[in-house]
Chain A
Amino acid sequence: DVKVTQSSRYLVKRTGEKVFLECVQDMDHENMFWYRQDPGLGLRLIYFSYDVKMKEKGDIPEGYSVSREKKERFSLILESASTNQTSMYLCASSPDSYQETQYFGPGTRLLVL
């Protein structure tokens, strides 16, 4: 079974803090994704990576950065957290083909105070 894990299920941070969200997959997938999920807005792509050290901006990259130093690990960084970044963050991975499904992690619910 494909396993995608995220470092925290729940996180509470203060405005201005630097926040790291980590995602690890165990299936040697080339592609990894970070989404945020907000009620009524579905899933919106923040960044994705199609290979180690490679990244592409998604639809809402502002205020976020990512790092992929190893194939199995994809980190989302909030350089200076703001209250409007309070959300559910979902990580996903997939093999390198658009025919393939994405496998999702359990999500991290982030609250920025």
Chain B
Amino acid sequence: AQTVTQSQPEMSVQEAETVTLSCTYDTSESDYYLFWYKQPPSRQMILVIRQEAYKQQNATENRFSVNFQKAAKSFSLKISDSQLGDAAMYFCAYRSFTRKSTFGDGTTLTVKP
């Protein structure tokens, strides 16, 4: 069974600074997708970014980028130029061909003005 570990229950960052959220996973599969989701307070969970396991290149979406290290089974999320609206709980997720997803426990990000 796959496991996803987010070792930082809480993180904080100053507005306009950069923060990195950690995620590691364990799997014996070679083909899978990894996702970061954002859940703002009292709002719906939405996709931030996703990474295909067979792609070496790290995914980027505007201020969000990942550092994907397949051999190390690590998938961290970097948020640049942090904004107040980035405050949320962030979940790392693994999804395989079985269609099921495994989520980490989440990291609560606080953005300080």
Residues of A that sit less than 8 Å from B by CB: 4, 31, 33, 35, 40-45, 48, 50, 56, 58, 90, 92, 94, 96, 98-99, 101-102, 104-107
Q: Given known contacts A40-B105, A42-B105, is B46 in contact with A98 (CB within 8 Å)?
A: no
Asked if B99 and A90 make an inter-chain contact with CB atoms under 8 angstroms apart, the answer reads: no
Q: Given known contacts A42-B103, A42-B105, A45-B101, is B44 in contact with A101 (CB within 8 Å)?
A: no
Q: What is the size category of the interface that chain B forms with chain A?
A: 20 to 34
Chain A contact residues: helix, strand, loop or mixed: strand
Asked if B103 and A104 make an inter-chain contact with CB atoms under 8 angstroms apart, the answer reads: no
Q: Could you say which of B37, B96, B99, B104 contacts A31, with CB atoms under 8 Å apart?
A: B99
Distance in Å: Cβ of B47 to nearest Cβ of chain A: 4
Q: Could you say which of A31, A33, A41, A96 contacts B105, with CB atoms under 8 Å apart?
A: A41
How far is A14 from B39 in the complex, measured between Cα atoms in Å?
29
B52 within 8 A of A: yes
Asked if B99 and A48 make an inter-chain contact with CB atoms under 8 angstroms apart, the answer reads: yes
7 nearest A-B pairs in the assembled complex, by CB-CB distance: A104-B45, A42-B105, A43-B103, A101-B47, A42-B103, A98-B95, A106-B44
How far is A69 from B67 in the complex, measured between Cα atoms in Å?
42
Asked if B100 and A45 make an inter-chain contact with CB atoms under 8 angstroms apart, the answer reads: yes
Asked if B97 and A98 make an inter-chain contact with CB atoms under 8 angstroms apart, the answer reads: yes
